[in-house]
Amino acid sequence: MARSKFLGTKINPSRFHKSQIKYLLILSPLVAFMALPLIYIFNVAFKPLEELFFYPPTFIVQRFTMSNFVRLFSVTGASGIPMSRYLFNSIIVTVLVLFFSVLISTMAGYALSKLNFKGKKLMNEINTVALMFVGIAVMIPRYLIVEKLGLIDNFFVHVLPYLAIPVGLFLVKQFIDQIPDELLDAARIDGARELQIYTKIILPLIRPAIATIVILSFQSVWNSADTSTVYINNDNLKTFAFYMNTLTSGTNGVAGQGMAAAASLIMFVPNFVIFLVMQSKVMDTMAHSGIK
């Protein structure tokens, strides 16, 4: 009787069960605490300028206004370039980086995982070593390379440094390693070429890894103002992240706080939406790649 009662109880029931109450009591306060920054960034973007300087500061907006966004889209920088130009540059750069970084990472990951060629082991080791270096550590050699290529004040300098993502290539390779070689051999016996195997078999099976690359690439390029600061002198080629930094600098220190809050929300929302949509696939990638 006791055994049948035990077997009839699910450890993780699909519907609400009273046994879940204790978990809800523990997790609900944690979820509410972690949601506070999200609530704050949405509220501060719609505060009027005087409310931004209340003391003590208010968490929830009291007088909702869209004036910060109106001013942000209507104002022009010191060079006379409208904000929409910076935003357009960021969108184009982000789309190009996402497409080419996914293409390069998946093709390189497939080659390093399933194809045999001279220098394969060395390339794997170089990519592993590259994981140890942060962007700031290679800024000087990167600048020298960009200068030698003649990309100073060139729009594509926004794209080139973000195409090779060592962590993205590592995750993709580890994910492809889980695909049985017998599956690819069977496709080759049926007459499939390597490009067909890549497009028809590899890409559909590594969608979680692709989602991870999209998130990593998007966050690195969308939020970065370094390229515009270091490599670009022409304001027409600079991005929205750079423009954000100018809103609270110099004479705009106080007057630009409302516009900066609105710009921060514009920068934050795409990151939030992409991660919210793809976070389950990211967890699948970490599980298959061996990262704990």
- pLDDT greater than 80 at residue 282: no
Q: Which of 18-22, 157-161, 213-217, 287-291 has the lowest mean pLDDT?
A: 287-291
How much is the pLDDT for 248?
64
Structural domain spans, the chain: 19-65, 80-289
Whole-number Å distance between alpha carbons of 289 and 273: 24
How much is the pLDDT for 254?
62
Q: Which of 92-96, 99-103, 109-113, 273-277 has the lowest mean pLDDT?
A: 273-277
How much is the pLDDT for 45?
86
Q: What percent of the chain has pLDDT over 90?
A: 11
- pLDDT greater than 90 at residue 95: yes
| pLDDT (tens digit per residue) in 115-135 | 888 888 899 888 888 888 777
| pLDDT (tens digit per residue) in 131-161 | 887 777 788 888 898 889 888 989 999 998 8
Mean model confidence pLDDT for the chain: 82
14 vs 235: which has the higher pLDDT: 235
The CATH number given to 80-289 is 1.10.3720.10
Q: What is the pLDDT confidence band of residue 6, given thresholds at 50, 70 and 90?
A: very low
Q: What is the pLDDT confidence band of residue 77, given thresholds at 50, 70 and 90?
A: low
- Which residues have CB under 8 Å from 149's CB, separation 6+? 160
Q: What is the pTM of this model?
A: 0.79
Q: Which of 50-54, 155-159, 278-282 has the highest mean pLDDT?
A: 155-159
* Mean pLDDT, rounded, for 206-234: 88
* Mean pLDDT, rounded, for 181-194: 89
